[in-house]
Amino acid sequence: MKNSKVGIIAGLVIVAGAGAWYLNGGAGASSAHAQAATGAKDGKTEQPPAVVNVVDPQRHDIPVVQQANGTVTPIRTVDLHPQTTATIRTVHIKEGQFVKEGELMFSLDDRADRANLDKASAQVEHDRAQVADLERQLKRSQDLFAQHFVAQGAVDTLRAQVDQARATLDADSAAVRASSVANSYTAIRAPMSGRVGGIGVYPGSLVQPTTSLTTITQLDPITVAFTLPESSLPALLAAQRRGKVEVQVMPGADLAPVNGLLSFIDNTVDVQSGTIRVKAEFANRETTLWPGQYVNAKVTVQTIKDAVVIPQNAIVTNAQGTFVYVLDKDSAHLVPVQRLYAAGVDAAVSGLNGNEKIITEGKQNVRPGGKVSLAPITAKG
């Protein structure tokens, strides 16, 4: 009985000790777990800084250029026709030849015209002799009338004959000039300097006013015609008011650009295409530009002076507008900008002073006000 009580007491002591140990261990573990949970809830996990690259804005003048495809067009092209019906006597030029203004190109059969001119000239000489004779008679009659040998009627009759003879002389002189003009039609000369086209007539060919002999095309100077969108019209007109507007065309991959000046802006906008037709004039001594040739034209409508220029890939566009990330010590800030003009990989913008550090690469990982660090510079080569 005594041993039984001792066993019960020992068992209770063991149970009590185990309970105390459990309570002490469990409370410590629960406290540590609670502290860990509280720290995860209240503490903030810091993200590592975003690694970025930056560039310095550049300042320089930016030309605002409008580009279009154009066609080379001659200022003047003349289709030569004879002004009379005759046969070709001589062809003085060759196809593709350059001629100067006034140079003889074709001679027509002029025998009939020369005969008519000679006949009219002879008639004029006859009229002059008749006028001279009547004037002498009138002079003698006036002298006799003064001496009372002839009546006044005789003097008046001779004066009328003199006036009639003079009128006949004037008419026949006009006939000579008309014959001279008709005779000049048999010599066809270049009305301007230019290049001769194809020739479809030969000596002996019968030609008439409807027959095309050849064409002459002026190549220097020459124009390029092209169209620009109507949205470019205000800037184009403003540039023209300021002075000469430069135009550059590219005649081919292997040829140097040709520079000229804007010469014409059409007076209406094409409502079908929404474009305005313009022309530029170019010196063409080397015949770099050829009529009908397609070229790429560039018009400088404006020059932005001392513009702030940054890479286009630094610009961020979202629903709120256009921005760039600027590095400020070790953090990034959004700065609103306005794209004034874009050309190639660069863009001229407003909204920057020009002394900022603009983030280019790595901006997709940047948040406004977030920490950033510069990417290490790797040695090349």
Q: Where are the domains of the chain?
A: 51-61+306-374, 66-75+219-303, 77-108+186-217, 110-184
Residues in contact with 2: Cβ distance below 8 Å, sequence separation at least 6, in sequence order: none
pLDDT at 119: 93
Q: Which CATH architecture has domain 51-61+306-374?
A: Beta Barrel (2.40)
pLDDT at residue 91, as a whole number: 95
Q: What is the DSSP letter of 204?
A: T
pTM of the model: 0.63
Rounded to whole angstroms, the Cα distance separating 229 from 275 reads 4
CATH topology of domain 110-184: Helix Hairpins (1.10.287)
- Measured over the CA atoms of residue 56, residue 61, residue 67 and residue 71, the dihedral's sign is negative
Please identify every stretch of the chain with a pLDDT value under 70, giving residue numbers as ranges: 1-46, 377-381
Q: What pLDDT does 6 receive?
A: 42
pLDDT score at 301: 82
At residue 1, the pLDDT reads 43
**So what's the pLDDT on residue 187?**
94
Average per-residue pLDDT for the chain: 84
How much is the pLDDT for 376?
79
Topology of 77-108+186-217 in CATH?
OB fold (Dihydrolipoamide Acetyltransferase, E2P) (2.40.50)
The pLDDT, as a whole number, for residue 377 is 66
Q: How far is it, in rounded angstroms, from Cα 127 to Cα 119?
A: 12
pLDDT digit string (tens) for 122-167?
Answer: 999 999 999 999 999 889 988 888 888 888 888 889 899 999 999 9
Angle between helix 111-146 and 152-184 (nearest 10): 160
CATH of 66-75+219-303, one of 2.40.50.140, 2.40.30.170, 3.30.2130.30, 3.90.1150.10: 2.40.30.170
Q: How many CB atoms lie within 10 A of CB 345?
A: 8
Evaluate whether 335 touches 366 at the Cβ level (below 8 Å).
Answer: no
Q: What is the pLDDT at residue 90?
A: 95
Q: Which two tokens stand for residue 213?
A: 């002999």
> What pLDDT score does 5 carry?
47
pLDDT at 40: 42
